[in-house]
Structure 1
Amino acid sequence: MPKTLNRVLLGLAGLVLLVLGGSVLAVGLGAPAPSWWIHDGRHDVLLDDSERTRWRDDAWWWPTVIAVLAVLLFLALWWLVSVLRRRRLAEVLVDTGDGAGALLRGRALQSALAEDASSLDGVNRAHVDLTGRRTAPRARMNLVLDPHADPSATLHALSAETLAHAKDSAHLDALPSEVRMRSVRHREKRVS
Protein backbone atom coordinates (compact mmCIF):
# COMPACT_ATOMS: atom_id res chain seq x y z
CA MET A 1 0.00 0.00 0.00
CA PRO A 2 1.47 3.39 -0.86
CA LYS A 3 2.81 5.34 2.07
CA THR A 4 0.65 8.41 1.35
CA LEU A 5 -2.58 6.41 1.16
CA ASN A 6 -1.67 4.63 4.39
CA ARG A 7 -1.11 7.94 6.18
CA VAL A 8 -4.35 9.44 4.86
CA LEU A 9 -6.37 6.40 5.94
CA LEU A 10 -4.72 6.35 9.36
CA GLY A 11 -5.36 10.07 9.76
CA LEU A 12 -9.03 9.76 8.80
CA ALA A 13 -9.58 6.75 11.06
CA GLY A 14 -7.85 8.54 13.92
CA LEU A 15 -9.89 11.71 13.39
CA VAL A 16 -13.21 9.81 13.33
CA LEU A 17 -12.27 7.84 16.46
CA LEU A 18 -11.09 11.00 18.22
CA VAL A 19 -14.29 12.93 17.46
CA LEU A 20 -16.60 10.05 18.43
CA GLY A 21 -14.61 9.05 21.51
CA GLY A 22 -14.22 12.65 22.65
CA SER A 23 -17.92 13.35 22.26
CA VAL A 24 -18.86 10.15 24.15
CA LEU A 25 -16.46 11.13 26.94
CA ALA A 26 -17.73 14.71 27.06
CA VAL A 27 -21.40 13.66 27.16
CA GLY A 28 -20.62 11.00 29.76
CA LEU A 29 -18.95 13.60 31.96
CA GLY A 30 -22.01 15.82 31.81
CA ALA A 31 -21.29 18.20 28.94
CA PRO A 32 -24.26 19.14 26.78
CA ALA A 33 -24.71 16.77 23.83
CA PRO A 34 -23.72 18.17 20.41
CA SER A 35 -26.50 18.89 17.93
CA TRP A 36 -25.48 15.93 15.74
CA TRP A 37 -25.35 13.51 18.67
CA ILE A 38 -27.77 10.59 18.35
CA HIS A 39 -28.70 10.45 22.04
CA ASP A 40 -30.22 12.96 24.39
CA GLY A 41 -28.05 12.99 27.45
CA ARG A 42 -25.77 11.41 29.96
CA HIS A 43 -27.99 8.52 31.02
CA ASP A 44 -29.22 7.55 27.55
CA VAL A 45 -28.12 4.05 26.40
CA LEU A 46 -26.47 3.37 23.07
CA LEU A 47 -29.14 0.93 21.85
CA ASP A 48 -32.47 0.72 23.65
CA ASP A 49 -34.92 -2.19 23.29
CA SER A 50 -36.84 -0.69 20.39
CA GLU A 51 -33.67 0.04 18.39
CA ARG A 52 -32.28 -3.47 18.99
CA THR A 53 -35.47 -5.29 17.98
CA ARG A 54 -36.64 -3.00 15.17
CA TRP A 55 -35.17 -5.10 12.32
CA ARG A 56 -35.47 -8.54 13.93
CA ASP A 57 -38.38 -9.69 11.73
CA ASP A 58 -36.76 -8.64 8.44
CA ALA A 59 -34.89 -11.54 6.83
CA TRP A 60 -32.31 -9.30 5.11
CA TRP A 61 -31.10 -7.45 8.23
CA TRP A 62 -28.77 -9.92 9.97
CA PRO A 63 -27.13 -11.32 6.81
CA THR A 64 -26.45 -7.74 5.71
CA VAL A 65 -24.97 -6.77 9.08
CA ILE A 66 -22.79 -9.89 9.15
CA ALA A 67 -21.62 -9.34 5.55
CA VAL A 68 -20.71 -5.69 6.20
CA LEU A 69 -18.82 -6.60 9.37
CA ALA A 70 -17.00 -9.42 7.54
CA VAL A 71 -15.94 -7.04 4.77
CA LEU A 72 -14.74 -4.48 7.34
CA LEU A 73 -12.79 -7.20 9.16
CA PHE A 74 -11.22 -8.38 5.89
CA LEU A 75 -10.22 -4.81 4.95
CA ALA A 76 -8.75 -4.19 8.41
CA LEU A 77 -6.71 -7.42 8.26
CA TRP A 78 -5.50 -6.61 4.73
CA TRP A 79 -4.45 -3.17 5.89
CA LEU A 80 -2.62 -4.62 8.90
CA VAL A 81 -0.75 -7.14 6.76
CA SER A 82 0.22 -4.49 4.21
CA VAL A 83 1.55 -2.22 6.96
CA LEU A 84 3.51 -4.96 8.73
CA ARG A 85 4.98 -6.53 5.57
CA ARG A 86 8.68 -5.84 5.14
CA ARG A 87 9.55 -3.83 2.12
CA ARG A 88 13.31 -4.20 2.37
CA LEU A 89 15.39 -7.33 2.24
CA ALA A 90 16.87 -8.17 5.64
CA GLU A 91 19.58 -10.56 4.46
CA VAL A 92 21.16 -11.96 1.31
CA LEU A 93 22.31 -15.56 1.00
CA VAL A 94 25.91 -15.65 -0.27
CA ASP A 95 27.22 -18.83 -1.89
CA THR A 96 30.58 -19.54 -0.25
CA GLY A 97 31.42 -22.40 -2.58
CA ASP A 98 31.63 -25.06 0.13
CA GLY A 99 27.97 -26.02 -0.03
CA ALA A 100 27.07 -24.12 3.12
CA GLY A 101 26.56 -20.42 2.55
CA ALA A 102 26.70 -17.23 4.52
CA LEU A 103 24.18 -14.55 5.30
CA LEU A 104 25.00 -10.97 4.39
CA ARG A 105 22.95 -8.27 6.05
CA GLY A 106 20.82 -6.41 3.56
CA ARG A 107 21.66 -3.04 5.09
CA ALA A 108 25.38 -3.74 4.70
CA LEU A 109 24.96 -4.44 0.98
CA GLN A 110 22.68 -1.40 0.63
CA SER A 111 25.20 0.92 2.26
CA ALA A 112 28.08 -0.53 0.22
CA LEU A 113 26.12 -0.01 -3.00
CA ALA A 114 25.18 3.54 -1.96
CA GLU A 115 28.79 4.41 -1.10
CA ASP A 116 30.12 3.02 -4.37
CA ALA A 117 27.42 4.82 -6.35
CA SER A 118 28.07 8.09 -4.50
CA SER A 119 31.77 7.91 -5.38
CA LEU A 120 31.03 7.85 -9.12
CA ASP A 121 31.76 11.00 -11.09
CA GLY A 122 28.69 13.20 -11.29
CA VAL A 123 26.71 11.54 -8.49
CA ASN A 124 25.85 13.86 -5.62
CA ARG A 125 23.87 11.39 -3.46
CA ALA A 126 22.69 7.81 -3.75
CA HIS A 127 20.05 5.81 -1.91
CA VAL A 128 19.63 2.04 -2.33
CA ASP A 129 16.86 -0.35 -1.24
CA LEU A 130 17.09 -4.11 -1.63
CA THR A 131 13.91 -6.04 -2.34
CA GLY A 132 13.12 -9.53 -3.60
CA ARG A 133 14.16 -12.83 -2.04
CA ARG A 134 17.35 -13.50 -0.16
CA THR A 135 18.53 -15.83 -2.91
CA ALA A 136 17.56 -13.38 -5.68
CA PRO A 137 17.81 -9.78 -4.47
CA ARG A 138 16.79 -6.76 -6.53
CA ALA A 139 18.17 -3.25 -6.10
CA ARG A 140 16.21 -0.01 -6.32
CA MET A 141 18.58 2.93 -6.63
CA ASN A 142 17.80 6.62 -6.49
CA LEU A 143 20.65 8.83 -7.70
CA VAL A 144 20.86 12.58 -7.41
CA LEU A 145 23.16 13.81 -10.16
CA ASP A 146 25.28 16.95 -10.26
CA PRO A 147 24.31 19.52 -12.91
CA HIS A 148 27.33 18.66 -15.07
CA ALA A 149 26.73 14.87 -15.00
CA ASP A 150 25.98 12.88 -18.13
CA PRO A 151 23.18 10.42 -17.23
CA SER A 152 24.17 7.81 -19.83
CA ALA A 153 27.83 7.81 -18.73
CA THR A 154 26.76 7.62 -15.09
CA LEU A 155 24.44 4.70 -15.82
CA HIS A 156 27.17 2.89 -17.74
CA ALA A 157 29.68 3.40 -14.88
CA LEU A 158 27.06 2.31 -12.35
CA SER A 159 26.33 -0.96 -14.14
CA ALA A 160 29.94 -1.69 -15.16
CA GLU A 161 31.55 -0.86 -11.82
CA THR A 162 29.22 -0.59 -8.84
CA LEU A 163 26.62 -3.23 -9.65
CA ALA A 164 29.17 -5.64 -11.15
CA HIS A 165 31.37 -5.29 -8.05
CA ALA A 166 28.42 -5.93 -5.71
CA LYS A 167 27.28 -8.93 -7.77
CA ASP A 168 30.77 -10.44 -7.79
CA SER A 169 31.38 -9.75 -4.09
CA ALA A 170 28.15 -11.42 -3.01
CA HIS A 171 28.54 -14.27 -5.56
CA LEU A 172 25.16 -13.52 -7.07
CA ASP A 173 24.10 -14.85 -10.46
CA ALA A 174 22.34 -11.59 -11.24
CA LEU A 175 21.47 -8.33 -9.50
CA PRO A 176 18.53 -6.78 -11.38
CA SER A 177 18.33 -3.09 -10.66
CA GLU A 178 15.97 -0.21 -11.15
CA VAL A 179 17.78 3.11 -11.29
CA ARG A 180 16.07 6.47 -10.99
CA MET A 181 18.05 9.61 -11.64
CA ARG A 182 17.29 13.23 -11.03
CA SER A 183 19.44 16.30 -10.96
CA VAL A 184 20.29 18.18 -7.83
CA ARG A 185 18.33 21.36 -7.25
CA HIS A 186 20.00 24.39 -5.83
CA ARG A 187 18.22 27.32 -4.28
CA GLU A 188 18.44 30.60 -6.03
CA LYS A 189 20.80 33.04 -4.40
CA ARG A 190 20.30 36.74 -4.60
CA VAL A 191 23.36 38.56 -5.83
CA SER A 192 23.58 42.25 -5.16
Structure 2
Amino acid sequence: MKEKILERYDRTDDNRVIIDVSASKVEELYEDFDKQAPYHRKDLDEELASYLVDCVREIGAADFVIRITLDRPLSAELQARIRTSLYKFFMYQRELEVASVKRILKRSLMLLFVGFALLFLSFRLHGDSVRPFYQNVLIEGVTIAAWVSLWESLSIALFNWWPSHHRIRLNFRIANAELLFQAQSSRL
Protein backbone atom coordinates (compact mmCIF):
# COMPACT_ATOMS: atom_id res chain seq x y z
CA MET A 1 0.00 0.00 0.00
CA LYS A 2 2.80 2.43 0.91
CA GLU A 3 4.46 1.93 -2.47
CA LYS A 4 1.23 2.87 -4.26
CA ILE A 5 1.09 6.09 -2.26
CA LEU A 6 4.70 6.88 -3.09
CA GLU A 7 4.05 6.24 -6.80
CA ARG A 8 1.88 9.36 -6.83
CA TYR A 9 4.94 11.54 -6.26
CA ASP A 10 7.70 12.50 -8.67
CA ARG A 11 11.24 11.54 -7.71
CA THR A 12 14.57 13.32 -7.90
CA ASP A 13 17.52 11.73 -9.68
CA ASP A 14 18.72 10.39 -6.34
CA ASN A 15 15.25 8.85 -5.70
CA ARG A 16 13.97 11.32 -3.11
CA VAL A 17 10.24 12.05 -3.09
CA ILE A 18 9.28 15.46 -4.48
CA ILE A 19 6.52 17.34 -2.71
CA ASP A 20 5.25 19.83 -5.28
CA VAL A 21 4.04 23.29 -4.34
CA SER A 22 2.78 25.50 -7.11
CA ALA A 23 1.88 29.18 -6.91
CA SER A 24 1.67 32.02 -9.38
CA LYS A 25 3.60 34.40 -7.10
CA VAL A 26 5.57 34.30 -3.85
CA GLU A 27 2.87 36.14 -1.91
CA GLU A 28 0.55 33.13 -2.28
CA LEU A 29 2.86 31.12 -0.02
CA TYR A 30 2.10 33.39 2.94
CA GLU A 31 -0.88 34.52 4.99
CA ASP A 32 -2.50 37.75 3.84
CA PHE A 33 -3.08 39.26 7.28
CA ASP A 34 0.49 40.53 7.61
CA LYS A 35 1.12 42.34 4.33
CA GLN A 36 3.83 44.69 5.61
CA ALA A 37 6.14 42.09 7.17
CA PRO A 38 9.10 40.79 5.18
CA TYR A 39 8.70 37.23 3.91
CA HIS A 40 11.04 35.69 6.46
CA ARG A 41 8.82 37.06 9.28
CA LYS A 42 5.42 36.16 7.88
CA ASP A 43 3.43 33.06 8.62
CA LEU A 44 3.12 30.49 5.88
CA ASP A 45 -0.29 30.09 4.34
CA GLU A 46 -2.29 27.77 6.60
CA GLU A 47 -3.34 25.54 3.70
CA LEU A 48 0.26 25.28 2.48
CA ALA A 49 1.51 24.33 5.95
CA SER A 50 -1.26 21.76 6.31
CA TYR A 51 -0.52 20.37 2.83
CA LEU A 52 3.18 19.94 3.63
CA VAL A 53 2.42 18.22 6.95
CA ASP A 54 -0.10 15.88 5.26
CA CYS A 55 2.35 15.00 2.49
CA VAL A 56 5.18 14.23 4.91
CA ARG A 57 2.84 12.08 7.00
CA GLU A 58 1.75 10.28 3.85
CA ILE A 59 5.25 9.51 2.60
CA GLY A 60 6.40 8.33 6.01
CA ALA A 61 10.13 7.88 6.46
CA ALA A 62 10.99 8.42 2.78
CA ASP A 63 13.52 11.14 2.03
CA PHE A 64 11.94 14.13 0.35
CA VAL A 65 12.47 17.57 -1.13
CA ILE A 66 9.99 20.39 -1.56
CA ARG A 67 9.79 21.78 -5.09
CA ILE A 68 8.25 25.23 -5.35
CA THR A 69 7.08 26.19 -8.81
CA LEU A 70 6.28 29.84 -9.50
CA ASP A 71 5.37 31.79 -12.64
CA ARG A 72 8.75 33.45 -12.88
CA PRO A 73 12.30 32.71 -11.72
CA LEU A 74 13.30 33.99 -8.27
CA SER A 75 16.48 35.74 -7.27
CA ALA A 76 18.85 33.86 -4.98
CA GLU A 77 18.03 36.37 -2.23
CA LEU A 78 14.29 35.69 -2.45
CA GLN A 79 14.90 31.93 -2.51
CA ALA A 80 16.99 32.30 0.66
CA ARG A 81 14.20 34.30 2.31
CA ILE A 82 11.66 31.62 1.47
CA ARG A 83 13.98 28.93 2.85
CA THR A 84 14.45 30.96 6.03
CA SER A 85 10.72 31.59 6.48
CA LEU A 86 9.85 27.92 5.94
CA TYR A 87 12.57 26.87 8.38
CA LYS A 88 11.50 29.39 11.04
CA PHE A 89 7.80 28.57 10.65
CA PHE A 90 8.23 24.83 11.15
CA MET A 91 10.84 25.22 13.88
CA TYR A 92 8.38 27.47 15.69
CA GLN A 93 5.70 24.77 15.29
CA ARG A 94 8.22 22.28 16.66
CA GLU A 95 8.90 24.48 19.69
CA LEU A 96 5.16 24.75 20.37
CA GLU A 97 4.97 20.94 20.40
CA VAL A 98 8.02 20.70 22.68
CA ALA A 99 6.30 23.08 25.12
CA SER A 100 3.15 20.94 24.87
CA VAL A 101 5.12 17.78 25.70
CA LYS A 102 6.65 19.51 28.71
CA ARG A 103 3.18 20.46 29.95
CA ILE A 104 1.94 16.89 29.35
CA LEU A 105 4.85 15.37 31.26
CA LYS A 106 4.54 17.91 34.08
CA ARG A 107 0.84 17.10 34.49
CA SER A 108 1.58 13.38 34.35
CA LEU A 109 4.27 13.71 37.01
CA MET A 110 1.97 15.76 39.24
CA LEU A 111 -0.78 13.14 38.97
CA LEU A 112 1.77 10.42 39.72
CA PHE A 113 2.84 12.15 42.95
CA VAL A 114 -0.78 12.79 43.95
CA GLY A 115 -1.61 9.15 43.23
CA PHE A 116 1.24 7.84 45.37
CA ALA A 117 0.40 10.28 48.17
CA LEU A 118 -3.25 9.16 48.15
CA LEU A 119 -2.21 5.51 48.01
CA PHE A 120 0.14 6.01 50.97
CA LEU A 121 -2.66 7.77 52.86
CA SER A 122 -5.02 4.93 52.04
CA PHE A 123 -2.61 2.32 53.39
CA ARG A 124 -2.05 4.36 56.55
CA LEU A 125 -5.79 4.74 57.13
CA HIS A 126 -6.62 1.11 56.39
CA GLY A 127 -5.18 -0.54 59.51
CA ASP A 128 -6.83 -3.56 61.13
CA SER A 129 -9.21 -1.81 63.49
CA VAL A 130 -12.97 -1.94 63.15
CA ARG A 131 -14.36 1.39 61.93
CA PRO A 132 -17.77 2.81 61.25
CA PHE A 133 -19.17 2.36 57.74
CA TYR A 134 -18.62 5.98 56.61
CA GLN A 135 -14.89 5.76 57.47
CA ASN A 136 -14.57 2.58 55.41
CA VAL A 137 -16.27 4.34 52.49
CA LEU A 138 -13.90 7.30 52.87
CA ILE A 139 -10.85 5.03 52.95
CA GLU A 140 -12.04 3.09 49.89
CA GLY A 141 -12.73 6.42 48.13
CA VAL A 142 -9.16 7.55 48.82
CA THR A 143 -7.86 4.23 47.47
CA ILE A 144 -9.93 4.54 44.29
CA ALA A 145 -8.83 8.17 43.85
CA ALA A 146 -5.20 7.04 44.21
CA TRP A 147 -5.54 4.38 41.50
CA VAL A 148 -7.44 6.75 39.19
CA SER A 149 -4.70 9.36 39.61
CA LEU A 150 -1.98 6.79 38.92
CA TRP A 151 -3.85 5.48 35.87
CA GLU A 152 -4.42 9.02 34.52
CA SER A 153 -0.72 9.77 34.97
CA LEU A 154 0.22 6.66 33.02
CA SER A 155 -2.39 7.29 30.35
CA ILE A 156 -1.26 10.89 29.79
CA ALA A 157 2.38 9.89 29.57
CA LEU A 158 1.80 6.98 27.21
CA PHE A 159 -1.05 8.08 24.98
CA ASN A 160 -0.64 11.86 24.74
CA TRP A 161 3.14 12.03 24.59
CA TRP A 162 3.65 9.89 21.50
CA PRO A 163 1.55 11.93 19.01
CA SER A 164 3.27 15.13 20.17
CA HIS A 165 6.67 13.48 19.81
CA HIS A 166 5.70 12.45 16.27
CA ARG A 167 4.66 16.04 15.41
CA ILE A 168 7.99 17.34 16.78
CA ARG A 169 9.91 15.04 14.44
CA LEU A 170 7.62 15.86 11.53
CA ASN A 171 8.04 19.64 11.94
CA PHE A 172 11.80 19.20 12.22
CA ARG A 173 11.90 17.18 9.00
CA ILE A 174 9.92 19.80 7.09
CA ALA A 175 11.98 22.68 8.52
CA ASN A 176 15.18 21.03 7.33
CA ALA A 177 13.91 19.83 3.96
CA GLU A 178 15.77 20.84 0.86
CA LEU A 179 13.86 23.36 -1.26
CA LEU A 180 14.03 23.36 -5.04
CA PHE A 181 12.76 26.32 -7.04
CA GLN A 182 11.67 26.37 -10.64
CA ALA A 183 9.79 28.71 -12.94
CA GLN A 184 6.54 27.58 -14.53
CA SER A 185 8.04 27.93 -18.03
CA SER A 186 10.84 25.45 -17.20
CA ARG A 187 8.33 22.88 -16.02
CA LEU A 188 6.37 22.72 -19.27
Taking structure 2 as the reference length, the TM-score comes to: 0.29
Using CA pairs under 8 Å that are at least 6 residues apart, name the structure with larger relative contact order, 1 or 2. Answer: 2
Higher helix share: 2
Larger radius of gyration: 1
User: Between Structure 1 and Structure 2, which shows a larger proportion of strand residues?
Assistant: 1
Q: TM-score, normalised by structure 1?
A: 0.29
